[in-house]
A and B are shown apart, each in its own frame.
Chain A
């Protein structure tokens, strides 16, 4: 369809006729609405979106989007999304996943999708618990948490998704709490604009099995002091009074107060999301409460060739330079004989 024919879509165009079955108060609603509001801001036809999910509460998401959708099997959505994108690179492919789906059963596919940098967007709903199976700990649950599957408290160390993603070679990493739908919309648009695998971790609340697990970061009373909103090219300043900043002291990050001990705004680190070296992005990704705020926004956004671009350029080159125009040419090539 030509661009002229694109009609302005509204958020209602993206609402499917299916009844939403998430628990009342679930953080997933905010993510769904943010998506339905973000997509009409782009000039892509509805039929060119494909939402692909694995298994878990988050993974019902495609049923509620009035686009093409594929609710697949546990952990495997990155591989299915990869196939969709390679078959038809024009499609905008979104993968919806959770902390269990992406980091436990699907860990292998998750890291390999990031490594290849195929042009899809992954939204990881991180509620640090298994919801659909009714409350077992997940690979992001805090050490010591008591659940049905470990009544004496976990002895597992949790993954930090962004840390894992950096190790896997991710080119776009963002983090956003489900309490900030406006910022979420913007990040969704940034992710769609990024060529390569975009990972968006949403700190999402499970009201039933892990209520307020992110409360110490997202609570109204603490959010200003516990969230550092990163913006490319801007100083890392936060706090209710916007008077706190991050500096690099030796090989460690440190919080300082502007106006104290001779510190001025010029001393504060400026965020560079496009820096290829992962060192500082790793430090930012791993900052955590209570001693540090949690980094929000786009932590990393670097340009490099995507897997799909690479494959397509190889295909085009080979098609252009070959003497084989059809399978007949191939079958009759090399040594043959007549009977």
Chain B
């Protein structure tokens, strides 16, 4: 029976692909995302995978998931719960049982529900038969067998056939949401360019899945999500780490500098290194160092010699970089350190998201060692904050820590492509040959010292980690000079507040509750505040990207609200910072430390208790 005629328009929908880490769920999810992006949907994604590359097959520990939220309206979160779950095995079903909407559709690979599969997932009884999922629309599809059947005469080996089953699932979901398959076919052709048999087989399976979904009567109807109504322009889908990398590429171009990345691989930051390493054609230098320390030190050397120098890492790596970051601070050289935060402490939860490195970024060095701290807040605005971090570092000659996180770095969304030509120039604060110059003389407004690049005739000088005399830059152990220099370096960072935009507020400028957030929680905080406002509640949101220094109008904003609640994925770090800077206000706090983004339902429920 052909059901093409029944296509239902949806405003938005959340789909989750889940299976073993070897089942190709990340690829399946990103294919669905790319295809939806090209149809003009707004979207947000949330890849959620284990730290182990291949945990034991079929176990809950090994489940890898990819959640995508698409809509014809503004989408700011990957969604609290899925409307449609694709579960390739019982473990994937078990891991997601609390993350699927009541009454939602679950597509099951029924070939993987034998006793041994259930045992591995820790199910005593088959959950499809014992009523655990009554009230859900269960679609049982023999995905493995049908894939096998489709390719039995293809000449492909057994392992490759088994690996193609994710395309069957993708085909089914493509039919269900009325998506074209061309983008994925093109992707397969490029990816397996040298293996035409693999391309042909995967495309065959994709079609088989599509046709199967069309034919069976289990799926109620096919849905579609039309183009989102967003700002006009040319768009592309972008991942957070990619956007970060591209922000630096744009910054180097606007600063007329070469970009140098010193890096050591670490989850979830490595994709920034991978992305920049691809672009030697734009003159970008990437250096995979022997460790985290060498990574930041090579960047600092490159900065001293005149490049726009950056280093990428995650929490444990930032701990190792602390001493060199202090050296960058005292030598007053431009440097951007990107920390794509993950669950801590120590090795913690490498593939999960968290906001618990804020203290480390602020204070994680010996001595009085202030640095600029910024935080990106959506996958696509990682681009803007990488650019801004570069601008502040180069124009103020100081290190900047840019905080991203696992959710932002791995998440994706549509990005309105920037025209680099129209972006502001960055003017590095550098001394020229023949100029009257002393190494520690300062600009009166910024309090920054000018750096002289090696190779500049007549400006030979020495910098280093020993305390320097004001103006001359000679080594100095003078008590008064040391205190003066500590104050100057602190003031220099505070003065950055004169050169940044004011804090914005979403909603009214006064009301019952001001929600405060920073960094990667923007999407869920914005969505919950928006929904409460639509219910008529007097709630506003101030979401911070400038962490140190804070924007100058911060206190102005706070004083017009009856209640203030600071929401963070940590045990209360930003709230402590705010308390120390603005101790006249009463801050409440709302914290989760589960390695997951906030759910908007949890936020709304909590905010309602604060205003009732």
Contact = CB atoms under 8 A, between A and B. Distances in A.
Interface of A: 1, 16, 18, 45-48, 50, 52, 62-63, 65-73, 76, 78-88, 90-91, 108-109, 112, 311, 314-315, 318-319, 321-322, 324, 326-328, 330-332, 334-339
B475 interface: yes
27 contacts: A1-B457, A16-B462, A47-B456, A47-B457, A70-B304, A70-B331, A79-B298, A80-B301, A82-B287, A82-B294, A83-B260, A83-B300, A84-B304, A85-B305, A86-B298, A88-B306, A88-B453, A91-B454, A318-B280, A318-B281, A327-B420, A328-B420, A331-B418, A335-B236, A337-B39, A339-B231, A339-B234
B249 A327 contact: yes
Given A335-B34, A335-B38, A87 B301 contact: yes
Interface in B229-246: 230-237, 246
A319 B291 contact: no
Q: How large is the interface on B (under 10, 10 to 19, 20 to 34, 35 or more residues)?
A: 35 or more
Contact of B287 (A70, A76, A83): A83
B297 A72 contact: yes
Nearest to A53: B464
Contact of B458 (A47, A83, A326): A47
A18 B474 contact: yes
A87 B260 contact: yes
A337 B234 contact: yes
A262 to B, nearest CB: 52
Interface in B343-374: none
Given A71-B466, A76-B324, A82-B287, 10 more contacts: A62-B464, A68-B461, A72-B327, A83-B298, A86-B260, A87-B260, A87-B285, A87-B309, A88-B306, A339-B227
Contacts of A81: 301
A82 B298 contact: yes
A78 B280 CA distance: 24
A71 B417 contact: no
Contacts of A324: 279, 281-282
Q: Which 4 A-B pairs have the closest CB atoms?
A: A83-B301, A71-B464, A322-B281, A79-B297
A206 B232 CA distance: 72
B375 interface: no
Contacts of B280: 314-315, 318-319
A18 to B, nearest CB: 7
Contacts of B300: 72, 80, 83
B421 interface: yes
A339 B462 contact: no
Contacts of A70: 301, 304, 331, 462-464
Contacts of B290: 79, 108-109, 112
A155 to B, nearest CB: 28
Contact of B305 (A18, A87, A335): A87
B58 interface: no
Nearest to B35: A335
Nearest to B333: A70
Nearest to B257: A87
B289 interface: yes
The binding surface of chain B is classed by DSSP as: mixed
B510 to A, nearest CB: 35
B419 interface: yes
Contacts of A63: 462, 464, 475
Contact of A79 (B38, B281, B293, B475): B293
A253 B555 CA distance: 79
A84 B454 contact: yes
Contact of A47 (B283, B454, B464): B454
B103 interface: no
Nearest to B294: A79
A243 B52 CA distance: 66
B307 interface: yes
B460 A66 contact: yes
B564 interface: no
Nearest to A16: B462
Contacts of A80: 297-298, 300-301, 304
A339 B227 CA distance: 9
B262 interface: yes
B258 interface: yes
A73 to B, nearest CB: 5
Nearest to B42: A339
Contacts of A76: 293-294, 297, 324
A91 B455 contact: yes
Contacts of B453: 88
Contacts of A45: 457
B37 interface: yes
B465 interface: yes
B299 interface: yes
A326 B253 contact: yes
Contacts of A50: 304-305, 454
B40 A339 contact: yes
A78 B295 CA distance: 11
B40 A72 contact: no
A101 to B, nearest CB: 13
Contacts of A326: 253, 282, 420
Contacts of A73: 297, 323-324, 327, 465
B303 interface: yes
B183 interface: yes
B305 A83 contact: yes
B302 A87 contact: yes
B246 A328 contact: no
Interface in B435-493: 453-466, 474-475
Contacts of B231: 339
A84 B300 CA distance: 8
A102 to B, nearest CB: 14
A339 B305 contact: no
A311 B462 contact: no
A108 B289 CA distance: 11
Contacts of A90: 455
Most buried by A among B297, B306, B453, B465: B297
B235 A327 contact: no
A334 B327 CA distance: 41
Contacts of A335: 34, 37-38, 183, 236-237
Contacts of B287: 82-83, 86
A253 to B, nearest CB: 34
A335 to B, nearest CB: 6
A82 B302 CA distance: 8
Contacts of A62: 462, 464
Contacts of A327: 246, 249-250, 253, 282, 420
A80 B454 CA distance: 14
A322 B284 CA distance: 13
Contacts of A68: 454-455, 460-462
Contacts of B289: 79, 82, 112
A157 B307 CA distance: 42
Contacts of A112: 289-290, 294
B259 to A, nearest CB: 10
A336 B234 contact: yes
Interface in B199-228: 227-228
Contacts of A66: 460
Given A52-B301, A70-B304, A337 B419 contact: no
Nearest to A338: B234
Given A47-B454, A80-B300, A83-B309, A337 B38 contact: yes
A315 B258 CA distance: 12
B421 A328 contact: yes
Most buried by A among B37, B304, B307: B304
Contact of B249 (A88, A330, A338): A330
Contact of A84 (B279, B301, B464, B466): B301
Contacts of B327: 72-73
Contacts of B279: 324, 330
Contacts of A338: 233-235
Nearest to A311: B285
Given A83-B262, A331-B420, A337 B305 contact: no
